[in-house]
Amino acid sequence: MIIKTHNQIPKIPSSEITDPLIFKERRKIIKTMLAMTVAGMVSPYTKAESAKSKGATVAKSKFSNASLTPTSAELVKNYTNYYEFAFDKEGSTQLAQTLRTDPWSVEISGEVEKPGAYHLETILRQQTLQERIYRFRCVEAWSMVVPWVGFSLADLLKIVKPLSTAKFVKFTTLYQPETMLNQRSTAMLTWPYVEGLRIDEAMHPLTMLAVGMYGDVLPKQNGAPLRLVVPWKYGFKSIKAIVKIELLKKPPLTTWNQSAPHEYGFYANVNPAISHPRWSQNTERQLGSGFFTPRRQTELFNGYGEQVAALYRDMDLQHFF
């Protein structure tokens, strides 16, 4: 039995009491920004017509794996891991539809010059959205290729100005047991879902905050309205529905690491040489590949070694897994 005492009930976030007009405004901004972003790019989801008529030009991200073919959007939208809602991939997709993602604000605090509660629309106004095609590798040994829409986390952090004492970044998912039904029990995991990065990992240009995918607003089940994407780490690091970003002196206790420390390390860098205690990480099943398609050889740092290996130069990856 779970007893919730009054002081455990989360305070109503300031975003809940903001004028509804602002939310409509935000949705419009996202739509416009996404439209502009997509119009400026050559992508298979872009209608050539709308691209021409709008005429916007957006710099193509140099961090995109432009040569990769994205996994079908239908698969990515219907095969999700979102344990707040359900422990199975179809259940979480379905139940996540009850989530209200508008209004939304993100509290930024800790070792930072400009802490505050930032409305998502304010954050987005200061960013130029880009499409980035990234590989995504789940710790369960399946993978996909996703065209995310978003911006580098570093570009948000530069605005709020981390202090020199900020060594880690902690991310927290929304806590709302009325809709996120699994949050009513801590038998499986403790809530809210928490993830973390070292500050240099957080500032790495590949690390992004996504607000969209496949040229559209992020679906609820995929982490709307704002999620992290760290392409060289196992998928569980890419935390969904972020409401809090804290800059810390010490590493935060993260959800999966806390629940099973021998299975899920803080770093969780994709590494074919380090098996999960219960299965190999050497190869991966590519979502959407045919029955006869061989499994893909998993790459160290999910193929992003050239960009990120320097972050771990002097570290024993077996120990810091």
Ligand X SMILES: Nc1nc2c(c(=O)[nH]1)N[C@H]1C(S)=C(S)[C@@H](COP(=O)(O)O)O[C@H]1N2
Site residues for ligand X per CB under 6 A:
80-84, 138, 173, 193, 222-223, 235-236, 238-241
Cβ neighbours of residue 58 under 8 Å, at least 6 residues apart?
36, 37, 39, 40, 41, 128, 129, 130
Does residue 235 belong to the site contacting Mo ion (CB under 5 A)? yes
- Of the candidate residues 123, 138, 166, 218, the single one contacting Mo ion (CB under 5 A): 138
CB closer to Mo ion out of 150 and 235:
235
CA distance 302 to 143: 10
CA distance 30 to 32: 5
CB atoms within 10 A of CB 185: 12
What's the min distance (Å) between Cβ of 57 and ligand X? 29
What's the min distance (Å) between Cβ of 50 and ligand X? 26
Residue 180 touches which member of ligand X, Mo ion, none, C-beta under 5-8 Å by kind: none
CB closer to Mo ion out of 110 and 235:
235
State how beta strands 208-213 and 168-173 pair: unpaired
Q: Are 217 and 201 in contact (CB under 8 A)?
A: no
CB closer to ligand X out of 43 and 81:
81
Q: Are 224 and 217 in contact (CB under 8 A)?
A: yes
What's the min distance (Å) between Cβ of 297 and ligand X? 19
* C-alpha to C-alpha distances, 233 to 2, 171, 176, 198, nearest whole angstrom: 34, 15, 27, 13
CB nearest ligand X: which residue? Answer: 235
CB closer to ligand X out of 84 and 102:
84
CB closer to ligand X out of 162 and 244:
244
What's the min distance (Å) between Cβ of 128 and Mo ion? 29
What's the min distance (Å) between Cβ of 111 and Mo ion? 29
Write the DSSP assignment of 50-113 as a string of letters. HHHHH----PPPTTS-TTSPPPPHHHHHHS--BTTTBSSHHHHHHHGGG---SS-EEEEEESBS
Does residue 210 belong to the site contacting Mo ion (CB under 5 A)? no
CB closer to Mo ion out of 81 and 269:
81
Element of type H or E holding 35: helix 20-39
CB closer to Mo ion out of 193 and 214:
193
What's the min distance (Å) between Cβ of 142 and Mo ion? 8
- Mark residues 65-94: x for contact with Mo ion by CB under 5 A, - for none: ----------------x-------------
Encoding tokens for residue 207? 């690390």
What does DSSP assign to residue 317? T
Does residue 180 belong to the site contacting Mo ion (CB under 5 A)? no
What's the min distance (Å) between Cβ of 2 and ligand X? 19
Beta strands in the chain (DSSP E): 105-110, 116-119, 130-137, 142-152, 168-173, 194-198, 208-213, 216-217, 227-229, 242-248, 283-286, 296-297
Encoding tokens for residue 154? 């570093």
Encoding tokens for residue 319? 């120990």
CB closer to ligand X out of 66 and 141:
141
Residue 40 touches which member of ligand X, Mo ion, none, C-beta under 5-8 Å by kind: none
Residue 118 touches which member of Mo ion, ligand X, none, C-beta under 5-8 Å by kind: none
What's the min distance (Å) between Cβ of 266 and ligand X? 15
Does residue 136 belong to the site contacting Mo ion (CB under 5 A)? no
User: Where along the sequence are the contacts to Mo ion (CB under 5 A)?
Assistant: 81, 138-139, 235-236
